[in-house]
Amino acid sequence: MNYHKEFCIKTTESVNLDNYDPDFTDKQETKKSALRKMGNLKARMNELQFNLYAEQKRSLLICLQGLDAAGKDGVIRHVIGLLNPQGCRVVSFKQPTAEELAHDFLWRIELQTPKRGEVVVFNRSQYEDVLIVRVHNLVPKKIWSKRFNQINEFERILADNCTHILKFFLHISKEEQLNRFEQRLTDPGRNWKISEADYSERVFWNDYKKAYEDILSKCSTIDSPWFVIPSNHKWFRDLVITKIIIDTLQKLHIEIPKPSVNLDEIRRKYHEAVSEDNKKE
């Protein structure tokens, strides 16, 4: 199965999340086979990231969005954690500070975009400003409704300047979310993750669903595509995202830069140093 093609939102698509099964898995894969493959995929993704870092010409921005307990932290731990920390950075966007609120909504986002050679992961992203502000009526519709085009233009500018963008919506069912909340309550190691807001926000499930459908419909472009990732099964979620990242990096045909020094001269000096050390022994 071509995961990149299967889960990518077409630029002209009007998204209804009811048509996307969060419980979906590839019939040719099992949890056991997926975990086995992740070892080889880790090596390949590390190689491609190293090449990107060495080339210093392009960058990769990965945006993770999803309802509470959808698995953003899990993707960061099990997928992004496969990358070399040198050349990779994770940014989590919380409630805006007073300084951030004094600027336009994209100001704090732009400050965190990747430099050339870098992979940056947004845990939540610029899309919070057409999501939570909409659901909770924090700003008027006449303001947030304009932000779709502003975000598209912002991402186009990034793409024009050699930043490649992947946006993953982690799609879980309402029942699966409740199961994960229960795990947080019963597992002492996860108690810290639960909050009263987790349950109070469930009242707005349909509002969030509608908001995400508009995001996916209006902001999936050729240069900055959205992917709806079935995420009820964590192992499948991780496999799909890993393969899409690898597929994207492979298509860049990254070339290791040529040496900027005279290798023959350095080899000569190396052999002289070895010979000198041998004489001392």
pLDDT at 157: 98
Rounded to 5 degrees, what angle do the CA atoms 82, 198, 244 make? 30
Amino acid symbol at 88 = C
Q: How far apart are the first and last CA of the chain?
A: 60
**Nearest one of 150, 166, 156, 153 to 61, comparing CA atoms:** 166
pLDDT at 281: 64
Q: What is the pLDDT along the chain (281 residues), one digit of tens a residue?
A: 999 999 999 998 999 999 999 999 999 999 999 999 998 999 999 999 999 999 999 999 999 999 999 999 999 999 999 898 889 999 999 989 999 999 999 999 999 999 999 999 999 999 999 999 999 999 999 999 999 999 999 999 999 999 999 999 999 999 999 999 999 988 888 888 888 777 889 999 999 999 999 999 999 999 999 999 999 999 999 999 999 999 999 999 998 888 878 888 888 888 888 777 777 76
Q: How many domains does the chain have?
A: 1
DSSP H/E element including 126 = none
Q: Name the residue range of residue 193's domain.
A: 3-280
Report, in angstroms and rounded to the nearest whole number, the Rg of the chain calculated over CA atoms: 22
CATH number where 240 lies:
3.40.50.300
Token pair belonging to 94:
């919380």
- 43 within 8 A of 97, measured Cβ to Cβ: no
Query: For the stretch 226-237, what's the b/e string if a residue is b when 16 or more beta carbons lie within 10 angstroms of its beta carbon?
Result: bbbbbbbbbbbb
In degrees rounded to 5, what are phi and psi of residue 133? -65, -25
**25 to each of 21, 80, 130, 236, how far by Cα in Å?**
9, 21, 30, 6
**Three-class secondary structure of residue 257 per DSSP:** coil
